[in-house]
Amino acid sequence: MRPNRLVLLLATILPSFTVAADLLPPDRPIESVIDHYIDARLATSKSKAVDQADDYTLIRRLTLDLVGRIPTPAESKAFVESKDAKKREQLVDRLMASGAFVRHQANQFDAMISGPSSRTSGIRDYLVKALGSNKSWDVIFRELLVPNDDDAATKGSGEYLKTRITDLDRVTNDVSVTFFGVNVSCAQCHDHPLVQDWKQDHFFGMKSFFARSFDNGGFLAERDDATVKFKPTKGPEKTAKMMFLTGKTFNPPARKEQTKEEEIKERQKFEQAKKDKKSPPPPSFSARAKLVEIALQTEEAVFFSKAISNRLWHRFLGYGLVMPLDQMHSENPASHPELLQWLGRDMANHQYDLRRMIRGIVLSKTYSRSSKWTGDIPPAPGVFAVAQLKPLTPMQLAASMRVAVADPATFEGKPEDVEKRLESIENSARGFAGNIAAPTDDFQIGVSEALLFSNSDRVEKEFLNDGGDRLIGKLKTIKDPTQAVELMISSTLCRPATPDEKKLLTEYLQRRTDRSADAQRQILWSLLSGAEFRFNY
């Protein structure tokens, strides 16, 4: 890379450090900074933000986002009726202190790291442990990229690389996409056609950090040497330098020429480890560890810190500050560049504390807007004037269905007992979740889901049966049809029934007095399969 290019590149991707002085002060609460920047942009646009969501919607949204299920009727009622000015903070803190928060966020991070349809459980198990002990994002990053198979405390983290290392191009791009918000795959064959930032030097530079790694009989191993060569679109073949995305290069310690004997000895060490089913000997210098070190250095960390900020923002707001999530580069600026810079700086300043950032985001007014637009055409999602609908993940959907069809009385009692009951509900939802497609970019729901709900006896047996601890069982004891309707709506949709709904559904029941239990099941079915239930809105 020519020096002038390097200057240009750094100037375009490192604005957070060059203009840091202009950002809001670092000690201001995250939520207030978010609202400041979002409102400032709204004030200059033609759009006006919609009102805040009502309390029923807010507790549903927070409960789904933080612990992966809908709230119980008792939780909703308590929240809505509370007059405490701090009730939202209290709810967020209660949910975030629960084991369910750790499990749900582990699911979300697993989908982000492994891909939506991953079948390996090792990474999720690792994430549950890591998030449960409040590990920060930089530590998780390090443990995924430099795993230690012999350390029981981080067991499972090695699966991330083990499942990828046989394809170095893949691991190079996956790591760049997931941890740095950058898709360098285009720069594999040529300098990126549209984005000046990405050259072949970057792709092969990043690949060089992984080129020494290989699979040694199911264990991740790293050699002391390996070179990556590539053929540029013009000119002779080049040997890649270890180069981070910022253009920062690193020269690995020179290695003295090995004799044939030394080479054979080294190979034998790896073979022996393979035979013994043991971790291979560590390298004298680890290129992967070096990558982690460089990526977290102050000047370089801008990619790491902004990428995780953008991904968390996307998870909770349903739309990124930079979209697509893997296209963070100078020609695809953030909708709110100062906000992303501030959030990135905040992450770095607070040791990449995920809980702190999540709490800040969900306490903002931007997060708690209504999802309903009342004007003609809603503004672009990147203005954040109205909340985005988020399709439930398979686990969110299945667990929520289980909560909805339970007799609400089973959620009353000591908080720790309720917590246990909810955990067992969550576990029992895992099977059904396997039938639901995980949301991806450009997600659309297919007919197989509609057919499953409409005709599968699995839905019938798992959700519409009339066991004693079930809603249907409880409904049998209720004679007044309107009261039954009210109970069904509050259990499934987490809000009171509207007058129109009461009328419509009561009539539905009254027309089927000869088969009232069936009619109740049909209404429950229509609520569970309905659009309102399917989304976090």
Partner 1 sequence: MNTKSTFCGSNDHRLNRRGFLGLSAAAGVSAFADMTGLDALSNSALAGELKKDQKRVIMLWLAGGSSQLETFDPKPGAPTGGPFRSIQTAVPGVHISELMPKLAARMQHTCIIRSLNTKNGDHGGAAKLMMRGRRDEAVVKYPDLGAVMAKEMGRADSKVPDYVTFYTQTEGRMAGDSGFLGSRYAPMELTTNNQPPDIRKLDGISELDHVQRADLRELMSKQFSQGRPNKVLGSHNEAYQRVRGLMASEKLFDVSQESAKTRDLYGRSQFGEQALIARRLAEAGVPFIRVARAWWDSHGQNFETHQEMVPELDHVMAALIDDLKDRGLLENTMIVTLAEFGRTPGINSSLGRDHFASAWSCSITGGGIKGGVAYGKTDANGNKVVEGEADAAKLYATIYSALGINPHKNYYLGSRPVPLVEPGTEAIKELVA
95 near 370, Cβ under 8 Å?
no
Site string for partner 1, 132-171 (x = CB under 8 A): -----------------------------------x-xx-
Piece of the chain touching partner 1 by CB under 8 A; list 28-36, 70-78, 184-192, 336-344: 184-192
**Nearest distance from C-beta of residue 324 to partner 1, angstroms:** 3
**Nearest distance from C-beta of residue 501 to partner 1, angstroms:** 7
Q: 53: Cβ–Cβ under 8 A, 6 or more apart, which residues?
A: 61, 368, 369, 370, 371, 387
**Nearest distance from C-beta of residue 226 to partner 1, angstroms:** 16
For 351, the token pair is: 């040791």
Burial of 429 (0-12, 13-18, 19+ CB in 10 A): buried
DSSP state of 256: P
20/380 with CB nearer partner 1: 380
Pick out residues in 458-497 that bind partner 1 (CB under 8 A). 460
Peptide bond connecting 29 to the previous residue in cis, omega within 30 degrees of 0: no
Find the helix packing angle between 137-145 and 301-317, rounded to 10°: 110
Look-up of token digits 């409409």: 454
**Nearest distance from C-beta of residue 330 to partner 1, angstroms:** 11
Pick out residues in 511-530 that bind partner 1 (CB under 8 A). 512, 518-519, 522-523, 525-527, 529-530
Q: Which residue from 21, 85, 194, 254 is in contact with partner 1, where contact means CB under 8 A?
A: 194
245 near 202, Cβ under 8 Å?
yes
Q: Which residue from 192, 288, 345, 495 is in contact with partner 1, where contact means CB under 8 A?
A: 192
3-state SS, residue 249: strand
Pick out residues in 390-419 that bind partner 1 (CB under 8 A). 391
96 near 62, Cβ under 8 Å?
no
CB atoms within 10 A of CB 78: 14
Piece of the chain touching partner 1 by CB under 8 A; list 67-75, 91-99, 102-110, 501-509: 501-509
Interface with partner 1 includes 371 (CB under 8 A)? yes
Nearest to 88 by CA among 61, 69, 123, 48: 61
103/202 with CB nearer partner 1: 202
216 near 349, Cβ under 8 Å?
no
Positive or negative CA dihedral for 324, 250, 242, 234? positive
For 396, the token pair is: 């969110």
**Nearest distance from C-beta of residue 394 to partner 1, angstroms:** 11
342 near 208, Cβ under 8 Å?
no
**Nearest distance from C-beta of residue 435 to partner 1, angstroms:** 10
Look-up of token digits 């590539």: 230
351/454 with CB nearer partner 1: 454
134/448 with CB nearer partner 1: 448
Q: Which residue from 173, 208, 310, 536 is in contact with partner 1, where contact means CB under 8 A?
A: 173
Burial of 118 (0-12, 13-18, 19+ CB in 10 A): middle
Look-up of token digits 């009730």: 87
Piece of the chain touching partner 1 by CB under 8 A; list 18-26, 183-191, 401-409, 469-477: 183-191
Name the β-bridge partners of 243. Answer: 249
Site string for partner 1, 67-106 (x = CB under 8 A): ----------------------------------------
CB atoms within 10 A of CB 500: 8
Peptide bond connecting 324 to the previous residue in cis, omega within 30 degrees of 0: yes
Pick out residues in 18-57 that bind partner 1 (CB under 8 A). none
For 408, the token pair is: 């609400």
Nearest to 406 by CA among 468, 456, 459, 452: 468
Q: Please, how many CA atoms are within 13 Å of residue 486, restricted to the half-sphere of its CB? A: 8
**Nearest distance from C-beta of residue 455 to partner 1, angstroms:** 4
Interface with partner 1 includes 250 (CB under 8 A)? no
Q: Which residue from 250, 270, 285, 535 is in contact with partner 1, where contact means CB under 8 A?
A: 535
Pick out residues in 204-233 that bind partner 1 (CB under 8 A). 230-231, 233
Q: Which residue from 125, 356, 501, 502 is in contact with partner 1, where contact means CB under 8 A?
A: 501
Piece of the chain touching partner 1 by CB under 8 A; list 24-32, 71-79, 191-199, 279-287: 191-199
Q: Which residue from 11, 40, 97, 504 is in contact with partner 1, where contact means CB under 8 A?
A: 504
Site string for partner 1, 423-462 (x = CB under 8 A): --------------x-xxxxxxxxxxxxxx-xxxx--x--
Site string for partner 1, 305-344 (x = CB under 8 A): ------------------xx-xx---xxx-x---------
For 82, the token pair is: 């509370």
Nearest to 307 by CA among 13, 31, 8: 13
**Nearest distance from C-beta of residue 36 to partner 1, angstroms:** 22
Interface with partner 1 includes 374 (CB under 8 A)? yes
182/362 with CB nearer partner 1: 182
Piece of the chain touching partner 1 by CB under 8 A; list 85-93, 214-222, 305-313, 366-374: 366-374
How many residues sit in the footprint of partner 1 (CB under 8 A)? 77
